[in-house]
Structure 1
Amino acid sequence: MSKSVKELNIYYEPINKSNIFTSGDIVEGQVVLEVTKEIKVDSFFVKLKGDANVRWTEGSSNDEKTYKDHERYFKLKQYFIQESWKKGQSEKNTTLVSGEIYGPVIRPGSHVFPFRFQLPQQNMPPSFKGYYGSVKYVMTVQLKRPWKSSSTTCTELTFLPRNDGTNDHLLQPLSGTQDKKMKLFGSGKMSMTVTTDKTGYMQGETIRVSVDVDNSSSRDVKLKYSLKQKQTFIAERRTKIKFKDIVKETKDRIPSGGNTKFIVDMNLPRDLTVTIENCRIIKVQYELKVYLDVSFASDPEVKFPVVILPADQQCPPCQGPPGEFQPYPPSQPNLVPYPAEQPPPYAELYPNLYDPTALPHPGAAAGLYPDSNVVLPGFNPTPSAPVYDPNQSTKESSPNVPY
């Protein structure tokens, strides 16, 4: 970041205690820009995008090859200052959000620029970081100046798909039986019947499994069980697979001639990645395995697929109708109130901001915006970013022109 740009940060408002967003949610906040001297700006914008990326390398030396792929879900962009030649033009694969328009010159001081996005109403995978790829929802603010390096700041959102509770088949229990007849190092046989209470579980839930073991063999055995995560990455017709143990435990020994029933409870982590099936290049799946550990012999085992669902996020109802992104006007900048008889210190530089009759942009109506005197925690509200009025002169020599 250049010496003249002292601060460039993004602050957004969490919509729930877990700070998790889902489809259709509103993401709003402020960009804070502090400059130590007057600067000229080519463009200044904030964007929010969702992407999946995979990448890995195989071979070595001359035989080394990198496999990679990308999938984009959306790209939303709001300009604060836009190049004049771009105004009114669309951008490829980008939804432009109408926002405030400010002048191309920013005076010294701290400035607050409000933004507001709505996440698309579509089936998108959750935030995820794996061995060879990730799904990320990133918000970026970029300040471009003539003959200067761009200043950029990023922050990442946590996204989970909405749990609509319509998958009735995931409430069905699963059951399986496995028998084994001892041939070497023993005699007799053993059998195991495994039943789960259902197929799909929310993050933080407990998987309950009933296991009935009949050990009619001459060998002692141990009951073991595990929950394994399978990560699959796909690029250029190649596949890379990695496994991760979520739960792996051993129960009591089952003696020869014993018939034992077990209840196995597996507590799922609250932040466990949900099952991902709706991404073209990344899959996340889970497998439950219950087996009998038999020394010097193959182990009888029962395997079930398990689906991990988003936990109840306690989110407000969807903020907008289904369908494509619906643009919203940005909130009015939050201002610090000043007594009527005492002019604020920045009134000369930014007259429109402190004029109660001035609206934030043409066509704005009273009552459309929240109370402008409410100061949100974590923001530096003074002075707020000035509104550019194209009908006024933009000469730098005029002391009362808002930038």
Structure 2
Amino acid sequence: MSRSIKELSVHYDPINESNTFTSGDIVEGRVILEVTKEIKVDSFFVKLTGDAHVSWTEGSGDDERSYSDHERYFKLKQYFIQESSKRGESEKNTTLVTGETYGPVIKPGSHVFPFRFQLPQQNMPPSFNGFHGWVRYVLTVKLSRPWKTSSTASAELTFVLRNYGTNDHLLQPQSGTQDKKMKLFGSGKMSMAVTTDKTGYMQGETIRVFVDIDNASSRDVKLKYSLKQTQTFIAGGSTNREHKDIVKETRDSIPSKQKSKFIVDMIVPRDLTVTIENCRIIKVQYELKVYLDVSFASDPEVRFPVVILPLEQQCPPWQGPPGGFQPYPPPQPSMVPYPPGELPPPPAGLYPNLYDPAVLPHPGAVGEVYPNPNAFQPGFHLAPSAPVYDPNQSTKESSPNVPY
């Protein structure tokens, strides 16, 4: 940063305790500029952008090939100082927010430049940082001066999904069965019936699974289960998938010729990335797998898709299976026996659509769906000139700046 610019920073006001934003929210804040001497400015603006990006390399040497793709959801820009020759001009793929324009000369001292944006009413993916890509919503301020290197600063917002529609399918339990007949190194057969209490879970919630095992074989088996995350990156006609185990555990053995019933409880980490299905180049999905570990043989397994939702979008607790099934006892350890009874019917469909396209469009080309940048709440007016910054004035600051 230039010696004449002592501070250039951008700050926004949190609108909730979790310091998150979603579609349609107002992002309000200020740019603080402190200069040690009078400077002349060509251009001075703050912008808010939403982007997704993926990139990776495959192979090596002569066979090495790189893949990348980018998707922009919006670009909102407000000028504090604009070059006189460009005033009134539109900018490609940019929504300009109107406001008072300050003079091209900034005097010594600390100054505050207020800004205000409204996030588009689009179905945009949540903030994300993964193996080969990211989704970011970033405030960036840029100050350009004649014959000088431009000065910039940025702050990243945390954007979360807004769950449209009733999404009743997320409350439905899932059921599956698997049988295995022993052929080598044993005889008889084993069967397993698995039911989840629902399909969608919010961060920090407990996934409850009911497991009914009939080991009529001559072999002892072990119950195992896992929750796996799959990140999918798409670019240039190629797909790159990375997997990550969120939960992976081994539980009690089921001896030969015995039956066992269990409740398995898995706590979803509160900071776990939510399911992402509304991004063209990035997908984040989860799979629950319950299986029996059989030595020297293939393992019978049951798999279910699981949808992870933000904390603000809690699914109500499951009301229990039909048919007069007796209530399960409250969970104490992570796996306890449960009373006998009938299992509920399996739900229809896998990986249901989380978003109703009739309510909001799928994110796509820039400039198709934007709110009116001037449709702000009455009574809001930018100051005609940058006021002197009072360091004793209490302001809410954003999280630390991040690279853009």
Query: Shorter chain as normaliser: what TM range?
Result: 0.7 to 0.9
Give the whole-Å Cα distance in 2 for the aligned partners of 1:50 and 1:72: 6
Give the whole-Å Cα distance in 2 for the aligned partners of 1:156 and 1:23: 16
Alignment map for 1:337-356 (pairs within 5 Å): none
Say if 2:29 and 2:114, in contact at 8 Å, map to a contact too.
yes
In the TM superposition, residue 109 of structure 1 has moved relative to its aligned partner by: 0.5
Q: Which residue of 1 aligns with 2:147?
A: 147
Q: Which residue of 1 aligns with 2:89?
A: 89
Q: Which residue of 2 aligns with 1:324?
A: 370
1:39 aligns with 2:16: no
Q: TM-score, normalised by structure 1?
A: 0.80
4+ runs deviating over 4 angstroms: 328-334
- Of 365, 373, 377, which residue of structure 1 is paired with 2:395? 377
Say if 1:43 and 1:83, in contact at 8 Å, map to a contact too.
yes
Q: Which residue of 2 aligns with 1:178?
A: 178
Say if 2:14 and 2:396, in contact at 8 Å, map to a contact too.
no
Letter in 1 for 2:92: K
1:265 aligns with 2:269: no
1:85 match: secondary structure: helix
In the TM superposition, residue 353 of structure 1 has moved relative to its aligned partner by: 5.8
1:20 match: secondary structure: coil
Give the whole-Å Cα distance in 1 for the aligned partners of 2:63 and 2:57: 10
Alignment map for 1:157-172 (pairs within 5 Å): 157-164=157-164, 166-172=166-172
Count, aligned residues: 339
Give the whole-Å Cα distance in 1 for the aligned partners of 2:394 and 2:161: 28
Among the aligned pairs, what percent are the same residue? 75
Q: Deviations over 1:240-297 (max 9, x none)?
A: 0100111111111111111111101111112211111111111111111000011111
Give the whole-Å Cα distance in 2 for the aligned partners of 1:86 and 1:125: 33
Give the whole-Å Cα distance in 1 for the aligned partners of 2:63 and 2:251: 47
In the TM superposition, residue 378 of structure 1 has moved relative to its aligned partner by: 4.6
Q: Deviations over 1:341-395 (max 9, x none)?
A: xxxxxxxxx8x969xxxxxxxxxxxxxxxxx9x944357xxxxxxxxxxxxxxxx
Q: Which residue of 1 aligns with 2:311?
A: 311
Letter in 2 for 1:221: V
Give the whole-Å Cα distance in 2 for the aligned partners of 1:84 and 1:27: 27
Say if 2:219 and 2:256, in contact at 8 Å, map to a contact too.
yes
Give the whole-Å Cα distance in 1 for the aligned partners of 2:149 and 2:62: 36
1:244 aligns with 2:244: yes
2:85 match: secondary structure: helix
Letter in 1 for 2:373: P
In the TM superposition, residue 174 of structure 1 has moved relative to its aligned partner by: 0.8
Say if 1:10 and 1:32, in contact at 8 Å, map to a contact too.
yes
Bigger Cα displacement from structure 2, 75-84 vs 268-277: 268-277
Q: Which residue of 1 aligns with 2:156?
A: 156
1:51 match: secondary structure: strand
Q: Which residue of 2 aligns with 1:29?
A: 29
1:146 match: secondary structure: coil
Q: Identify if the C-alpha distance between structure 1 residues 14 and 353 changes in structure 2 by more than 3 Å, giving closer, same or farther.
A: closer
Q: Identify if the C-alpha distance between structure 1 residues 331 and 38 changes in structure 2 by more than 3 Å, giving closer, same or farther.
A: farther
In the TM superposition, residue 168 of structure 1 has moved relative to its aligned partner by: 1.1
Structure number with bigger Rg: 1
Q: Which residue of 1 aligns with 2:221?
A: 221
1:217 match: secondary structure: coil
Letter in 1 for 2:111: H
In the TM superposition, residue 333 of structure 1 has moved relative to its aligned partner by: 7.1
2:216 match: secondary structure: strand
Give the whole-Å Cα distance in 1 for the aligned partners of 2:313 and 2:227: 24
Q: TM-score, normalised by structure 2?
A: 0.80
Give the whole-Å Cα distance in 2 for the aligned partners of 1:70 and 1:96: 22
Letter in 2 for 1:6: K
In the TM superposition, residue 162 of structure 1 has moved relative to its aligned partner by: 0.8
Give the whole-Å Cα distance in 2 for the aligned partners of 1:86 and 1:62: 47
Q: Identify if the C-alpha distance between structure 1 residues 81 and 377 changes in structure 2 by more than 3 Å, giving closer, same or farther.
A: same
Give the whole-Å Cα distance in 2 for the aligned partners of 1:165 and 1:202: 16
Letter in 1 for 2:50: G
Give the whole-Å Cα distance in 2 for the aligned partners of 1:13 and 1:135: 21
Q: Identify if the C-alpha distance between structure 1 residues 28 and 214 changes in structure 2 by more than 3 Å, giving closer, same or farther.
A: same
Say if 2:13 and 2:396, in contact at 8 Å, map to a contact too.
no
Letter in 2 for 1:377: T
Say if 1:112 and 1:333, in contact at 8 Å, map to a contact too.
no
Q: Identify if the C-alpha distance between structure 1 residues 167 and 378 changes in structure 2 by more than 3 Å, giving closer, same or farther.
A: closer
In the TM superposition, residue 310 of structure 1 has moved relative to its aligned partner by: 2.2
Letter in 2 for 1:209: V
In the TM superposition, residue 160 of structure 1 has moved relative to its aligned partner by: 0.6
Give the whole-Å Cα distance in 2 for the aligned partners of 1:132 and 1:353: 43
Letter in 1 for 2:61: S
Q: Identify if the C-alpha distance between structure 1 residues 169 and 378 changes in structure 2 by more than 3 Å, giving closer, same or farther.
A: closer
In the TM superposition, residue 165 of structure 1 has moved relative to its aligned partner by: 5.2
Q: Which residue of 1 aligns with 2:12?
A: 12
Q: Deviations over 1:317-336 (max 9, x none)?
A: xxxxx9732324695679xx
Q: Which residue of 2 aligns with 1:319?
A: none
Listed as ranges, the gaps of 5+ residues in structure 2 are: 315-359, 361-368, 398-404
